[in-house]
Structure 1
Amino acid sequence: MPGSLETADWPRRAGLAALTEALGAEQIRWVGGAVRDTLLGVEVQDVDCATMHLPDAVIDLCAKAGIRTVPTGVDHGTVTAILEDGPVEITTLRHDVSTDGRRATVAFARNWKDDAARRDFTINALYAHPETLEISDYFCGLDDLAARTVRFIGDPRQRIAEDHLRILRYYRFQARFGSELNPEAEEACSELAETLKGLSRERVSDELLNLLALPDPGETVERMHNRAVLRVILPETSLRQVELMRDVITREAEQGFPPDPIRRLSALLPPSPDVAEIVAARLRLSKAQRGVLVSTAERLDSDADNPKALAYREGVDVAINRLLLIGSDARVLKRWEAPSFPIRGRDIVSRGIAAGPEVARILQSVERQWIAEGFPEEVRVREILEKELKSL
Structure 2
Amino acid sequence: MRSVKTVELPAWAQTEQAQAVMKALNDEGALQTLYVGGCVRNHLLGVPVSDIDLATVHTPEQAISRLQRAGFGTVPTGIDHGTVTAIAEGLTFEVTSLRRDVSTDGRRAVVAYTDDWVADAQRRDFTINTLLMSQQGQVYDPTGCGLADLEARRVVFVGNPAERIAEDYLRILRFFRFHATYGRGNPDQAGLAACTAGAAGIDTLSRERITQEILKLLALAGAGDTLSVMVKARVAARFYKADLPLDRVIGYFDMQSCNRAVHALARLAVTVAFDHDFIKENFALSNAQILFLKNMASAIEELQVRDRCHIRQSVYAFGNEATAQALLFCFAQGQHETDGDESLLALAKAWRPPAFPLAGADVLASGIKAGPAVGRILAQAEIWWRAADFVPDRAACLAWLQRHVSQQIE
Provide TM-score, normalisation by structure 2: 0.88
Offset of 1:244 from its aligned partner? 2.7
Q: Deviations over 1:207-234 (max 9, x none)?
A: 1111112233110012112222111112
Aligned residues, how many? 383
Residues of 2 paired with 1:183 and 1:33: CA distance?
Answer: 23
The answer to whether the Cα contact below 8 Å between 2:156 and 2:191 also exists between their aligned partners in 1 is yes
For residues 112-152 of structure 1, what are the alpha-carbon distances to aligned partners after superposition, in whole Å with 9 as ceiling and x for unaligned?
Answer: 11111100001101011122433334241111111111111
Partner of 1:83: 88
Task: Give the TM-score normalised by structure 1.
Answer: 0.92
The Cα shift of 1:166 comes to 0.4
Secondary structure, counterpart of 1:278 in structure 2: helix
Does the C-alpha gap of structure 1 residues 391 and 244 become closer, same or farther in structure 2, counting only changes over 3 Å?
A: farther
CA contact (8 A) 1:248 1:325 kept: yes
For the pair 1:199 / 2:205, whether they are aligned, the reply is yes
- Show the counterpart of 1:34: 39
Q: Which residue of 1 aligns with 2:190?
A: 184
Matched with 2:295 is: 295
Q: 1:326 aligns with which of 326, 330, 336?
A: 330
Structure 2 CA distance, aligned partners of 1:220 and 1:290?
25
Instruction: Name the structure 2 match of 1:307.
Output: 311
CA separation of 1:303 and 1:292: change in aligned 2, threshold 3 A: farther
Q: Which has the larger displacement, 170-179 or 288-297?
A: 288-297
* Offset, 1:71: 1.2
- Which residue pairs with 2:12 in the alignment? 10
In structure 2, the residue matched to 1:373 is 388
RMSD: 1.9
Q: Distance in 2 between matches of 1:344 and 1:308?
A: 21
Correspondence list, 1:122-137, <5 A = 122-137=127-142
Deviation at 1:200, TM superposition (A): 1.2
1:316 maps to what in 2?
A: 320
1:303 Cα deviation from its structure 2 partner: 6.1
Q: Give 1:384's aligned amino acid.
A: W
Separation in 2, partners of 1:135, 1:147: 17
CA distance in 1, matches of 2:283, 2:121: 31
Question: 2:354 aligned with 1:339, yes or no?
Answer: yes
Distance change (3 Å), C-alpha of 1:255 and 1:386: farther
Asked if structure 1 preserves the Cα contact closer than 8 Å seen for 2:87 and 2:93, the reply is yes
| Alpha-carbon displacement from aligned partner over 1:262-317 (angstroms, at most 9, x marks no partner) | 1110110123xxx3133134322111112212332343252634011111112222
- Cα pair 1:255 1:331 within 8 Å, conserved: no
Deviation of 1:90 after TM superposition, in Å, equals: 0.6
Pairwise CA distance, 1:353 = 2.1
- 1:208 corresponds in structure 2 to 214
129-138 or 168-177, which deviates more = 129-138
| Structure 2: gaps (5+ residues) | 1-5
User: What is the distance in 2 between the residues matched to 1:45 and 1:208?
Assistant: 20
Return the alpha-carbon distance in structure 2 between the equivalents of residues 193 and 296 of structure 1: 31
Q: Which runs of 5+ in 1 are unaligned?
A: none
Q: Is the 8 A contact 2:33 2:54 kept in 1?
A: yes
**CA positional deviation for 1:31:** 0.3
Give distance in 1, aligned partners of 2:137 and 2:364: 77
Tell whether 2:161 aligns with 1:159: no
SS in structure 2 of the partner of residue 228 of structure 1: coil
2:227 aligned partner: 221
Matches within 5 A, 1:60-79: 60-79=65-84
TM-superposed CA distance for 1:390, in Å, is: 4.3
Instruction: For 2:404 and 2:193, locate their aligned partners in 1 and report how far apart those are by CA, in whole Å.
Output: 68
- Asked if structure 2 preserves the Cα contact closer than 8 Å seen for 1:149 and 1:174, the reply is yes
- Cα deviation, 1:342-379, whole Å, max 9, x if unaligned, reads 01122122222223333323222221121122212223
